[in-house]
Structure 1
Amino acid sequence: MAGSTVPKRVRLDRRLIVDAILELARAEPSAKVTFKRLGEALGVDATAMYRHFRNKEELTRAALDRLSEMAVIDAEAATGGWRERLEAHLMRIAELSLEYPSIAAEGAILDPVGPGDVAGDEFVLARLHEAGLRGDALIRAYAAVSGFALAQSAAMAQEVVAHGGAARDGSIPWISTFGSVDLSQYPLVDEHRAELLAIDGMAVYRAGIDAILDSVAR
């Protein structure tokens, strides 16, 4: 019929589905992303997702791998020595975790096992190798850097999810209150109470990265 319009069919593939779940994670940080919700966003039946991913866990792993890929691509453009480039990579991991919190929060328990994740490993190892580390020292430094970055970035992402998408800059307090505890029994906590309450998640992340990289530099 002249003048009629036919809805354009979406040609699904793995990359398009990962794009969609990441966009939902950014737009709806506290919402639980399901295949049904993804189908609605893509304009397809939810069952279409199963032709590309066996389950939600496999899809989440693919999304995590994409975030790893993005962090490496951005860090490759950084300038400076091994430390500056590694810091750029690690800070980008934190930023992406806060941008896509419901996906990044799963990073503490799900291993992406994909090319983006392996590229991230290679990037970290290469920078530490440039710093002069070899053998066991190289592997221990890699474990410290990667383990801390993964755990703390996932924790910050979980905070965003739990607080309805607020504080996506990592500014949620590390210690929100000491409650009714009598701090006179804990003299150092009492002395530094204001400073401790001023620490936020991103400050903890930066402090941890600095401490590890200071050790590598030494």
Structure 2
Amino acid sequence: MAKTEPGAATGARTRRPRNSLNPDAIVEAAVRVTDRDGIGALTFEALGRELGSHPTAIYRHFRDKDELVRALVDRINAEAQLDGLPQTDDWQADLRRIAAAIHRAFLAHPAVAQLLPARTAAREHEFVTVEYIVSCMRRAGLPDDEAAACYRVFADFVLAYAGMDAALAALAPSTREAELLTWDVDYRRLPPERFPHAAATAEHFPRLDDPRNFALAVDLMIEAVAARATARRAGR
């Protein structure tokens, strides 16, 4: 007998009772589908099979796929907040905390996370993230206009970097390994007479998937915010 793949529809599969769906169940099913099969597999038909429901039942909760994707964005935001976002007396540590939490959530769901940097959920967990980062900028000593501008740049940077790392993680294993190998092999073979600086430092290039890359980038951003706040307090 042929083995049935997870989520595949069969005649023997028990269907959900009518009107038993809710938005949370649909979003959790969407996470399972994208984690397992990739974002391209996310259709209402696939969700119907995953949930044991007719696809039209999903339209009672999400009018289209775009609205569902927005809910997925906020689902990842919620996962980033699972360990809590305590506000301490160290705004720099708080920024590192939220950045690391977002990065972890992205890498836990790389298929859908690739969509997140360019999407706005406009839902509760996104509002919580915005509030937390803006509070850090104000506690750094920035006036409100600078706090808002630095929030935008810092948040977009974290989302973009986390999305890039998620895109790398979502590649097929063979493709991902080829990307990583390029930096270990090809760059170390650069002719120094043509690329003197790259050739001199090639052996020190971190791997693309080294988590210290993201941590260093966040530190550099925070140092820039701190320097800007200091300059503003000095009246420059």
Which TM class, normalised by the smaller chain length?
0.7 to 0.9
Q: CA deviation at 1:174?
A: 10
214, 225, 231: which one aligns with 1:216: 225
Q: Secondary structure at the residue paired with 2:83?
A: helix
Distance 1:180 1:57, change over 3 A: farther
Q: Deviations over 1:9-61 (max 9, x none)?
A: 26111111111112333344576322222111111112221221122221111
TM (normalized to structure 2)?
Answer: 0.76
Q: CA deviation at 1:7?
A: 5.6
Q: Answer yes or no: is the 8 Å Cα contact 1:30–1:102 preserved in 2.
A: yes
Where do 1:101-140 residues align within 5 Å? Answer: 101-140=110-149
Partner Cα distance (1:77, 1:29) in 2: 33
Alpha-carbon RMSD across the aligned residues, in angstroms, is 2.9
Distance 1:194 1:179, change over 3 A: closer
Q: Secondary structure at the residue paired with 1:122?
A: helix
Q: Secondary structure at the residue paired with 1:51?
A: coil
Partner Cα distance (1:26, 1:54) in 2: 23
- Equivalent residue for 2:28? 19
List gaps (5 residues or longer) in structure 1. 1-5
Question: Is it true that 1:81 corresponds to 2:86 in the alignment?
Answer: no
Structure number with the bigger relative contact order (C-alpha 8 A, sep ≥ 6) is 1
Q: Deviations over 1:68-126 (max 9, x none)?
A: 23323534247662222221111110111011112111012222122221211111001
Question: Is it true that 1:38 corresponds to 2:47 in the alignment?
Answer: yes
Partner Cα distance (2:210, 2:41) in 1: 23
Where do 1:55-94 residues align within 5 Å? Answer: 55-77=64-86, 81-94=90-103
Percent identity between the aligned chains? 23
- Equivalent residue for 1:196? 205
156, 159, 163: which one aligns with 2:172: 163
Distance 1:45 1:13, change over 3 A: same
26, 49, 63: which one aligns with 1:54: 63
Distance 1:40 1:80, change over 3 A: farther
Q: CA deviation at 1:213?
A: 0.6
Q: Secondary structure at the residue paired with 2:119?
A: coil
Question: Is it true that 1:185 corresponds to 2:188 in the alignment?
Answer: no
Q: Answer yes or no: is the 8 Å Cα contact 2:92–2:222 preserved in 1.
A: yes
- Equivalent residue for 2:215? 206
9, 13, 18: which one aligns with 2:17: 9
List gaps (5 residues or longer) in structure 2. 1-13, 228-236
> Displaced runs of 4+ in structure 1, greater than 6 A?
none
- Equivalent residue for 1:3? none
Q: Answer yes or no: is the 8 Å Cα contact 2:206–2:213 preserved in 1.
A: no
